[in-house]
Amino acid sequence: MKKNLVSATVFFLILCAGPVFAANLTDTERLGKLVYESKLLSWNQTQSCATCHNNATGFADLNNATVSLGDDGVSTGGRNAPTSAYCGLSPVLHLDKAGEYVGGMFWDGRASGSRMHDPLAEQAQGPPLNPVEMNMPDVQTIIDRIARDSEISFLFTAVYGADAFTDVNNAFDNLARAVASYERSTEVSRFSSRFDAGSLNAQELRGKKLFSQNCTVCHSMARLGGGFPLFTSYKYVNAGVPKNPALEYDPNCAYRYPDLGLGGFIGDPAQNGKFKIPTLRNVALTAPYSHNGYFTTLKEMVSFMNNRSGFTPEVADNLSTAVGNLGLNDNQVEDVVAFLNSLTDM
């Protein structure tokens, strides 16, 4: 009896521990978190990774901006910030047996991962040096700043050795690896949604069934490597999303019409208009939607996936026919949206 009471109390305490598992982070993950949240990585020290990928908004833009504002306070990027969570299993960009591109990072796969054998780490080196994002002049300046921060440099040398700052390029790689390890940690990629807990209501269960019939060719629910579904196959598709006129004529915005996506990076017209299939975990928190943020609400986005008639695609080539004419009625679209809402981490 007493034993039961003790274990019940322990169980209750575990439940109350809530979503933040900070205590469980390894030194490398803690270092990554410090860097991820540090504004030292931006030239005017106005922003960190967490500004555009924040816990409060499913690790997407804290202000739910269509395109994120850069460190200079004027420039914006040309694409909507996706979540930085659940990206850690994306393989190095490669062609599969069917001749389709799989893996890499960013909407167009340009952080391919081939240099560091880790797309997520390679991605982390992009924003600090990007003029419309964190706007740092060079790698040396980034490492100098990090080395001068006592808390970060203490952990950095504890993890990577006393001479960790000597070779700047090596230090920059390790900095990126630490950030990636934090993004892969249980604090960021939590798998703690009601979907994971298996506690869906009747409407969400109807939505789940419709989702598996209509959406999983792209937003895969396969348990890759025995883990939980990530709702992406890491492939690239032209879903036919229209251009975003709100961005087209903004002189401070890096958006250039048409955005060719993977085709622009690879330089092969057969890939024009294709964008990475995004994970849908925490999607209820990450509005607006699609690579250019054209869709404001989840309902609008899912309605488009269901029926894209009346929309002019940004790129007309290579349109996928597996999406855009699914034949769901309005109630069924609502059910799918309800299901997507169950993918929010607790």
- Least Å distance, CB 339 to ligand HEC, is 8
Q: What whole-number distance in Å separates Cα of residue 295 and Cα of residue 288?
A: 6
- Least Å distance, CB 163 to ligand HEC, is 24
Counting contacts by CB under 6 A, is residue 178 touching ligand HEC?
Answer: no
Q: Closer CB to ligand HEC, residue 138 or residue 163? A: 138
Residues 6 or more apart in contact with residue 239 via CB below 8 angstroms: 275, 290, 305, 308, 320, 323, 324
- Least Å distance, CB 22 to ligand HEC, is 18
Nearest to 291 by CA among 64, 67, 122: 67
Q: What whole-number distance in Å separates Cα of residue 242 and Cα of residue 311?
A: 6
Q: Amino acid identity of 113?
A: G
Contacting range for ligand HEC; rule: CB under 6 A; set: 44-52, 191-199, 247-255, 264-272 = 44-52
Contacting range for ligand HEC; rule: CB under 6 A; set: 3-11, 161-169, 187-195, 274-282 = 274-282
Q: Closer CB to ligand HEC, residue 47 or residue 165? A: 47
Nearest to 277 by CA among 262, 294, 258, 299: 262
Contact (Cβ atoms closer than 8 angstroms) between residue 238 and residue 274: yes
Residues 275-334 that bind ligand HEC (CB under 6 A): 275-278, 280, 283, 286, 289-291, 298, 301-302, 305-306, 320, 322-323, 326
Binding ligand HEC (rule: CB under 6 A), the pick from 29, 82, 102, 112 is 82
Nearest to 77 by CA among 268, 301, 291, 300: 291
Contacting range for ligand HEC; rule: CB under 6 A; set: 1-9, 22-30, 103-111, 156-164 = 103-111
Counting contacts by CB under 6 A, is residue 208 touching ligand HEC?
Answer: no
- Least Å distance, CB 84 to ligand HEC, is 4
Q: What whole-number distance in Å separates Cα of residue 49 and Cα of residue 59?
A: 9
Residues 6 or more apart in contact with residue 293 via CB below 8 angstroms: 65, 66, 67, 79, 80, 244, 247
Per-residue contact string for residues 46-65; x = within reach of ligand HEC by CB under 6 A? -x-x-xxx------------
Nearest to 107 by CA among 254, 287, 237: 237
Contact (Cβ atoms closer than 8 angstroms) between residue 52 and residue 68: yes
Where does this chain bind ligand HEC (CB under 6 A)? 36, 41, 47, 49, 51-53, 68, 70, 77, 79, 81-82, 84, 87, 105-108, 120, 123-124, 127-128, 133-134, 179, 211, 214-215, 217-219, 237, 239, 241, 275-278, 280, 283, 286, 289-291, 298, 301-302, 305-306, 320, 322-323, 326, 336
